[in-house]
Each structure stands twice: as C-alpha cells, then as structure tokens.
Amino acid sequence: MALVAAPEILSPYYRSLALAILADVALAVSWAFFSGPSRYLSLATGAFFGAGAYVTAIAGARLPWPLPVLGGALIGCAMALVVGALALRLRGPYFAVFTFGLAELAKHSLIWYETGVTGTVGRLILAPPGPWTLYYTVLCLAGLAVLTALLLRRSRWGYALAGIGADEERAETLGIDTTRVKIGTFALSAAFMGAVGAAMAPRWTYLDPQVFNPFVSFQTVIMALLGGATTVAGPIIGAVFLGLASEILLLKFRYFYMLGLGLTLIVVVLALPSGLSGLAARLRASPSPLPRPQP
C-alpha cells in the first residue's frame, strides 16, 4: 500500500530512486524464477532489457503508453524463444557465455546498422509519459514478476524446472518435456525484462546502443545471488539492498562501487552460496556462530 501511495508523498528524487529499485526488483525476480531453480546462468538480461528500451525509442511516440511496454515484452519473449531454442541445449558455462555474447552481439550489430544504414548514433525519445505513469507501470511489472515467481514455485512447471536444475537427464527420464519447460520459462522471464526495458527507456531522453549493457546482466545476477536466487524474497532483498547502495555510491565513487560489486560477487560465491536469505535462515536455525565455509 505504501508503494502505491508513494508518488503522492515522495519528492521527485525519492520517486525516481523508488522507480529504479522497483525496476531492479522486477529484473532480479524474473531472472531468478528461471535461473534460480534451473541453474542455467543467463547473462542475457542486458540484451532483453536493451531490446525493450529500443521498442520505446522507435515506436514510443506513435503508440499510446502501455503499448510500447507490451511491445517490449513481446520482443523480449520472441528473442528468448529463438535464443532458447538454439542455446538451451548448452550446459554449464557455455550457456552463460552464449547469453553474454548475445548482448554484445546485439550492441555491435546495432551500432554497425545505425551508423552504416540509418546514419544515426542514437535516438531521441519524444513525448515520454509522465513520471507517475512510469512509476505505476514499473510497480505493476514488479508486482506481476513477484506474483509469477510465487505461482511458478508451487506449480508443476516450477517443480519441473527445479527437477531440471537438480539433474536434467533424470528429469527427462521421468517424463518432463525439459525443452518446453526451459524455453517457456526463459521466454516468460525475458518478457518481463523486455517490458522493464521499455518502461525504463523514457527515463533517458536519448538512447544509443550502449543501452545493451552487460553491466545490467551482471547487476541482476549479483542482486539475485546476494539475496538468494532460489527463494522469492531473496532477489527482492538483493535488489533493494544493491539498489540503495548503488544510488548512494555510484555517482560519487563510481569505480569503488563497481570494485566493491566485484568483491561482493566473489564473497557471495565463496561464503554465501544461498545468499542473504539463506544466511538469515541459518541464523534463525542456530543461535551459535556461523559455521566457517569449508576451505
């Protein structure tokens, strides 16, 4: 409720901070509901986000507001279907490398296309919707992402996905159509990412191919892992935590912040495999000091 009423009482600065954090929540939650249980490490978030943003940049002025967001969702979904069909056969780090290459490939192809064919470098976003509209759009998306994650967890698809993460061959032997479950969930998460990209694009008045930013992919992964990728609350906690940290640190100490982010990732991987939410659960379970990570 507080989040719905927020734009009424918040100053523009805090409204925009809340907007950024909600977008992070939507990204991290939709990343985690696919990659968390399935253990397929996707670094394609930046690609879907960028594609969505470009939908708003190209068609935003001609379509009434919620339509570009829908278009972003569709394009993200379509990209994921193609990429998923090609790449979800790859296991382990190959899938991660492939999806990481996707954002870079999209960026460089777009730069090449824009400079060679259309003769522009970037695009202006004309007639952006008002800040409140944006806020409620992103709030809806974040809410929908959380709802999807909750529903998915308790559904047959959710269990199937977890089965794939535990042992894909066994899941297949048990009669799960692994390809359909993987591609379907991947496309659903990509739809959210595209929609968030489309909804966040009006925040910049000028958009260039740099919006296909691998940093978006990494930040999403770090948020989800920091909070704990296999729970629903984890990615939300991680996104709020890092969203606030980046807001405070990013502008003043840009490089220190990014350096800290790298260290955070290393520490999380080494010492907190189940994230902050896992840590909280362990603390509740045992009042004794934490067991040291086994060297």
Partner 1 sequence: MNPTLLVDIVVGGLITGGIYALVALGLNLQYGLMRVLNVAHGEFLMVGAYLTYSLHTAWGVNPLLTLLVTGPASFGAGLVLHRLLYARVLAAGEAPEALESRSLLLSFGLLFVLQNAALLIWSADLKGYSYLSIPFRFLGSVFPANRLVAAGVALAVSVAFYVFLKRSFTGKAIRALMQDPEGAQLAGINLSRVHGLCFGIGIAMSAVTGSLISMLFELTPFIGLPYTVTALVVVILGGLGNVVGSLLGGLILGLVETASVYLTASDIRLIASYGVLSLILILKPSGLFGR
Position 233 contacts partner 1 (CB under 8 A): no
Task: Determine the size of the site formed for partner 1 (CB under 8 A).
Answer: 40
Tokens standing for residue 166: 């535990």
Instruction: Concatenate the DSSP letters of all residues of 214-245 into one string.
Output: HHHHHHHHHHHHHH-TTSSHHHHHHHHHHHHH
Binding piece for partner 1, criterion CB under 8 A, among 22-30, 170-178, 196-204, 259-267: 259-267
Position 174 contacts partner 1 (CB under 8 A): no
Residue with smaller CB distance to partner 1, 8 or 169: 169
Q: Please, are residues 57 and 125 in contact by the beta-carbon 8 Å criterion? A: yes
Tokens 């996104």 belong to residue: 239
Residue with smaller CB distance to partner 1, 90 or 150: 90
Position 294 contacts partner 1 (CB under 8 A): yes
Alpha helices in the chain (DSSP H): 2-9, 12-38, 45-59, 66-87, 93-113, 131-153, 156-166, 168-173, 178-200, 214-227, 233-249, 254-271, 275-285
Position 261 contacts partner 1 (CB under 8 A): yes
State which of residues 3, 86, 147, 283 lies at the interface with partner 1 (CB under 8 A).
Answer: 86
Binding piece for partner 1, criterion CB under 8 A, among 124-132, 170-178, 180-188, 217-225: 217-225
- Which residues within the stretch 101-160 sit at the binding site for partner 1 (CB under 8 A)? 101-102, 104-105, 108-109, 112, 116
The sign one gets for the Cα dihedral 182, 187, 188, 193 is positive
Binding piece for partner 1, criterion CB under 8 A, among 90-98, 119-127, 189-197, 243-251: 90-98
Binding piece for partner 1, criterion CB under 8 A, among 23-31, 44-52, 100-108, 174-182: 100-108
Position 265 contacts partner 1 (CB under 8 A): yes
Residue with smaller CB distance to partner 1, 62 or 89: 89
Position 18 contacts partner 1 (CB under 8 A): no
If we measure between CA atoms, which residue out of 200, 173, 189 comes closest to residue 81? Answer: 189
Render the burial of 105-127: b for 16+ CB within 10 Å, e for the rest: ebbeebeeebeeeeeeeebebee
Q: Please, are residues 33 and 189 in contact by the beta-carbon 8 Å criterion? A: yes
Q: Please, are residues 257 and 250 in contact by the beta-carbon 8 Å criterion? A: yes
Tokens standing for residue 60: 């935003």
Position 89 contacts partner 1 (CB under 8 A): yes
Residue with smaller CB distance to partner 1, 27 or 73: 27
State which of residues 20, 184, 218, 272 lies at the interface with partner 1 (CB under 8 A).
Answer: 218
Specify the pairing of strand 206-207 against strand 123-124: antiparallel
Binding piece for partner 1, criterion CB under 8 A, among 5-13, 202-210, 227-235, 262-270: 262-270
Measure the N-to-C terminal CA separation of the chain; round to a whole number of Å.
45
Bridge partner list, 207 = 123
Rounded to a whole number of angstroms, the minimum distance from the CB of residue 56 to partner 1 is 25
Binding piece for partner 1, criterion CB under 8 A, among 19-27, 49-57, 71-79, 99-107: 99-107
- Site residues, partner 1 (CB under 8 A): 39, 41, 86-87, 89-94, 96-98, 101-102, 104-105, 108-109, 112, 116, 218, 221, 225, 255-256, 258-259, 261-266, 269-270, 273, 293-295
